[in-house]
Amino acid sequence: MTRVFLASFILMKAIIIMALAFILMATHAEGQVKWKPLLKAVEFSERDFVDTIRVRIESGAVIVPVEIAGQERHLLFDTGAEHGFWFGSQEEWMKPIDVDSTIWRDVNGKTGAASVFKIPEMGMGNLRLSNYPVSMGGHIGDYICGQFDGLIGFDLVTKGLSVKLDTKDSLMIVTDRKGFFDGEAKGQPTVKYWLAKPTYPLVYVELPFGNTYMSFDTGAVGHGVDLSNQALAHWLKKEKKRETIDSLAQLSDTTLNTNIGLYGVHADTLVERVVHLPTVQMGSLTVKDAYASSANMSMRIGSALLKHASLIIDSAKKRYVFLPHDGSRDITLNDKTSHSMRLIPTDSTGTLQAVVRKDSEAYGKRVRTGDLLIEADGIPIDDVCTYTSVRQRKKPGEEIHFLFRSPDGTEKRVAIARTE
């Protein structure tokens, strides 16, 4: 049985940077979905080619325009996803693929049907791709709010494409030429990746209290370093590591955690630690001044790095090469205010409630975890996408005027600046 992880479709952050818990759609097939022959069937229209494509950048994430059946669509380039995924409903151009089983389990342990289709032909710049496989199913599209249509997974890299994500000039350069980026990569911070599975890369990361493998996940939009409660609990059992973690902990508090999976929303209560990481070493790249939350399902480093650097993915040498925008060899995140207030769905209806940290601007203005969002800038909010449209009208630093209602019925009108 081949287990297929579409690991970390962490997409909501691209749309609502401070507002919603990220989407973590780590899914796997319950039956036999053999992806290797599906990937083998993918064909490129060109050989020995280089192409440059203008893309959209959202908090370091790269959204790529593609042409399918004469229409422009938009796909998130997600190094944390093994394979492609489509968020909308089935369309006429889709060709169903007969697989042994299409029952999938999402991050919350819920199961349901997720079909596999192929895109007969997709244009990405001047390159035409034939027979690209994508999964489709569940309700995850309800939370994307039309910002993009699906994902490009890491499978295209393992198929032989090397890619430069130029997040400074909003460009993506794709090539099948081995060594094409060697000159540009010389002297730059380099991180080797290891394929834990045929299309799932991991990187070795050195933290102040221990070393581990993580996913460098460009689909974790806007996120820096994320720790899992499970991993942190393991380190806390060791006295010296616990002392280090305690010395670095900025906050430890009970919080609400929400995961949006393929088949619905799951929320629980847990103790979150926010840990200041003066340095994180990933290959020859040093990430400085990162603030990591433990309220996560897995360990990963997200696209926040690409707000400060461009990235080369070298398929032949199995490495990431970072090109910091400031010309240095380091990336400084300084992301202490990240997630200081999140607005998460309480259930499948999309009603949003606040999750607030004690050291945040929102907490200082009397907003508390569990308060329900009623209005934003005078507009009634009854689902994720309505709030998304309100927030997108504001520039970083501009205030949004909120109306919250606490569980006891108390209403609170506050103005809180958009953080980025």
Higher pLDDT, 221 or 28: 221
Q: How do residues 26-85 score in pLDDT, each as one tens digit?
A: 444 444 577 888 999 999 999 999 999 999 998 899 999 999 999 999 999 999 999 999
Share of the chain above pLDDT 70, in %: 87
Helix axes of 239-248 and 229-236: crossing angle, nearest 10 degrees: 120
Q: Phi, psi at residue 145, to the nearest 5°?
A: 60, 30
pTM of the model: 0.89
Residues 343-347 have a mean pLDDT of: 77
Residue 114 binned pLDDT confidence (cut-offs 50, 70, 90): confident
Report CA dihedral (178, 184, 185, 189) to the nearest 10 degrees: -160
Q: Is the pLDDT of residue 3 over 90?
A: no
Q: How do residues 145-166 score in pLDDT, each as one tens digit?
A: 788 899 999 999 999 999 999 9
Q: What is the pLDDT of residue 101?
A: 57
Alpha-carbon gap, residue 169 to 218, rounded angstroms: 17
Q: Are 308 and 332 in contact (CB under 8 A)?
A: yes
Q: Is the pLDDT of residue 401 over 80?
A: yes
Q: What is the pLDDT of residue 348?
A: 54
Q: Are 335 and 238 in contact (CB under 8 A)?
A: no
At 350, is the secondary structure helix, strand, or coil?
Answer: coil
Q: What is the pLDDT of residue 34?
A: 79
CB atoms within 10 A of CB 47: 8
Q: Are 277 and 248 in contact (CB under 8 A)?
A: yes
Q: Is the pLDDT of residue 312 over 80?
A: yes
| Residues 6 or more apart in contact with residue 416 via CB below 8 angstroms | 341, 361, 362, 365, 367, 399, 400, 402
Selection from 408, 407, 399 nearest residue 362 by Cα: 399
